[in-house]
């Protein structure tokens, strides 16, 4: 993998992820239309409504039934507990309750021993942060020191009220996420895989168009930058597939219905990750060629054999049809188109190999041609539904 000093990392920065995510969302909205986009996002909307109603129910229960003095703490407990999946919500609920218990206990003991002063405050904050790490709580979970400081400021009565409210909020959050429309991320993972396949197809198509005409070093570097960004985002796609698998834990209804889709999503994410890195290697080779790196001829050798551009065009079709196979009900036409693209790519590679056999041997371009041919062949092998390594990635 190529890692040069000074290469851009903007895609991995928080602001870069926000911008790229917003751009991808807008592109998906334009491509699908509002009604189709709304249908695709219905699960996310349903989860939002569910959590909102759970917060309202918790507040009503605390304010009008249990008559607690600070009912707003219950919906706060719900929000702090509810996580992306039912399993992580249960884990997070126990973490929140445990953190509040430790915070209340630590603050009560220290106030009893040394009173309320700056020393107490510093000890509570430092020990709370240390305990957060020792208890393997998430880095953003600072409930131990926060609870301790609130007890320090408002007294032990508040501490016990907070504990009761967090217990109630955690119970409501766990019940809501475990029993009422438990979040499923199987279809979400499939949509992300389809989107990534589409972007890889677009990149391969742009590379084919460039090689088929006049291409420059700036164009090649743009291809490489896009390939690098996609490689980074493919890691997030694999995380989404893992999240989909986690969403099925503690799920007892319709589990078998999702198991096949889970295996397909996980294998498809691995397949795209491998193929994406190989497409990135092709882009890197083209940059080296046009820039004259490693003793390559530079712009004078930019007129590459036409079968190479046609093979990249076939790879674009492979990426595109592979994405379509991941969402909804896979159509036999999509599989047939993918297999036809595989055959076309193999035909173009044979054509290119024959053309290179007639060129002067041992030229400076031969190692590069060999690497490009091998990367193309490896991408086709990744997507081969019959003999490839990712047969579970196909429906």
pTM of the model: 0.64
Q: DSSP letter for 62, please.
A: I
217, 53 contact by CB (below 8 A): no
pLDDT score recorded for residue 255: 57
User: 48-52, 139-143, 276-280, 350-354: which has the minimum mean pLDDT?
Assistant: 139-143
**Dmax over Cα atoms in the chain, in whole Å?**
90
> Is the predicted pLDDT of residue 295 greater than 80, yes or no?
no
> Is the predicted pLDDT of residue 3 greater than 60, yes or no?
no
Please provide residue 47's backbone torsions phi and psi, each rounded to the nearest 5 degrees: -65, -40
**For range 369-380, the mean pLDDT:** 90
Please provide residue 216's backbone torsions phi and psi, each rounded to the nearest 5 degrees: -125, 175
Q: Strands of the chain (E only): list them.
A: none
- For the chain, give every domain's residue range: 42-179, 184-393
> Is the predicted pLDDT of residue 130 greater than 70, yes or no?
yes
Pick 53 or 250 by higher pLDDT. 53
Distance between start and end Cα atoms, the chain: 31
CA atoms of 263 and 246, how far apart (whole Å) = 12
341, 321 contact by CB (below 8 A): yes
> Is the predicted pLDDT of residue 2 greater than 50, yes or no?
no
User: 30-34, 45-49, 108-112, 303-307: which has the minimum mean pLDDT?
Assistant: 30-34
> Is the predicted pLDDT of residue 20 greater than 50, yes or no?
yes
* Burial degree of 34 (CB within 10 A; 0-12, 13-18, 19+): exposed
Please provide residue 33's backbone torsions phi and psi, each rounded to the nearest 5 degrees: 85, 155
CA atoms of 316 and 349, how far apart (whole Å) = 15
**Among candidate residues 250, 86, 103, 93, the one with its CA nearest the CA of residue 171:** 93
CA atoms of 185 and 15, how far apart (whole Å) = 24
Confidence grade of residue 225 (pLDDT, cut at 50, 70, 90): very high
Which CATH architecture group holds 184-393? Answer: Up-down Bundle (1.20)
- What is the DSSP code string of 246-286? HTTTT--SSHHHHHHHHHHHHHHHHHHHHHHHHHHHHHHHH
User: 79-93, 113-127, 327-341, 371-385: which has the minimum mean pLDDT?
Assistant: 79-93
CA atoms of 284 and 224, how far apart (whole Å) = 6
CA atoms of 378 and 372, how far apart (whole Å) = 10
Give residue-wise pLDDT tens across range 72-112: 888 888 887 776 565 666 677 777 777 777 877 888 888 78
Those residues with Cβ within 8 angstroms of residue 139's Cβ, 6 or more apart along the chain or in another chain: 132
- What is the DSSP code string of 163-217? HHHHHHHHHHHHHHHHHSS----HHHHHHHHHHHHHHHHHHHHHHHHHHTS---H
CA atoms of 219 and 115, how far apart (whole Å) = 68
User: 80-84, 221-225, 342-346: which has the minimum mean pLDDT?
Assistant: 80-84
- For residue 378, CA distances in Å to 276, 293, 315 come to 11, 24, 11
CA atoms of 161 and 163, how far apart (whole Å) = 5
Give residue-wise pLDDT tens across range 51-77: 899 889 989 998 888 887 778 888 888
Region of residue 85 (left: phi > 0; alpha: psi -120 to 50; beta: else): beta
Those residues with Cβ within 8 angstroms of residue 338's Cβ, 6 or more apart along the chain or in another chain: 317, 318, 321, 322, 325, 383, 385
């Amino acid at each position: 993998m190529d890692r040069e000093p000074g290469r851009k990392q903007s895609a991995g920065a928080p602001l870069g992820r926000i911008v790229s995510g917003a751009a991808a969302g807008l592109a998906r909205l334009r491509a699908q239309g509002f009604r189709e986009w709304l249908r695709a996002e219905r699960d996310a909307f349903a989860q939002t409504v569910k959590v909102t109603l759970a917060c309202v129910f918790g507040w009503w229960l605390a304010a009008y039934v249990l008559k607690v003095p600070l009912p707003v703490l219950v919906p706060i407990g719900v929000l702090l507990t509810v996580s992306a999946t039912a399993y992580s919500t249960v884990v997070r609920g126990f973490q929140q309750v445990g953190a509040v218990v430790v915070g209340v206990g630590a603050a009560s003991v220290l106030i009893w021993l040394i009173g309320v002063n700056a020393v107490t405050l510093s000890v509570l904050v430092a020990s709370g942060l240390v305990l957060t790490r020792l208890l393997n709580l998430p880095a953003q979970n600072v409930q131990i020191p926060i609870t301790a400081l609130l007890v320090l400021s408002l007294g032990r009565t508040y501490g016990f009220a907070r504990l009761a409210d967090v217990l109630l909020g955690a119970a409501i959050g766990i019940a809501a996420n475990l029993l009422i429309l438990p979040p499923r991320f199987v279809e979400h993972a499939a949509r992300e895989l389809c989107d990534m396949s589409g972007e890889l197809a677009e990149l391969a198509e742009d590379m084919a168009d460039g090689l088929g005409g006049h291409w420059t070093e700036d164009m090649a570097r743009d291809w490489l930058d896009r390939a690098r960004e996609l490689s980074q985002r493919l890691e997030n796609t694999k995380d989404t597939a893992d999240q989909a698998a986690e969403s099925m834990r503690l799920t007892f209804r319709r589990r078998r219905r999702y198991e096949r889709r889970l295996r397909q999503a996980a294998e498809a994410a691995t397949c795209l990750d491998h193929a994406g890195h190989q497409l990135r290697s092709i882009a890197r080779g083209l940059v080296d060629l046009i820039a004259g790196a490693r003793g390559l001829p530079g712009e004078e050798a930019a007129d590459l054999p036409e079968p190479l551009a046609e093979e990249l065009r076939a790879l674009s079709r492979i990426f595109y049809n592979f994405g379509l196979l991941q969402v909804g009900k896979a159509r036999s036409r999509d599989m047939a188109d993918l297999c036809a693209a595989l055959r076309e790519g193999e035909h173009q590679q044979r054509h290119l190999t024959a053309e290179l056999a007639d060129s002067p041997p041992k030229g400076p371009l031969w190692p590069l041609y060999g690497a490009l041919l091998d990367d193309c062949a490896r991408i086709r092998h990744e997507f081969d539904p019959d003999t490839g390594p990712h047969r579970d990635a196909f429906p």
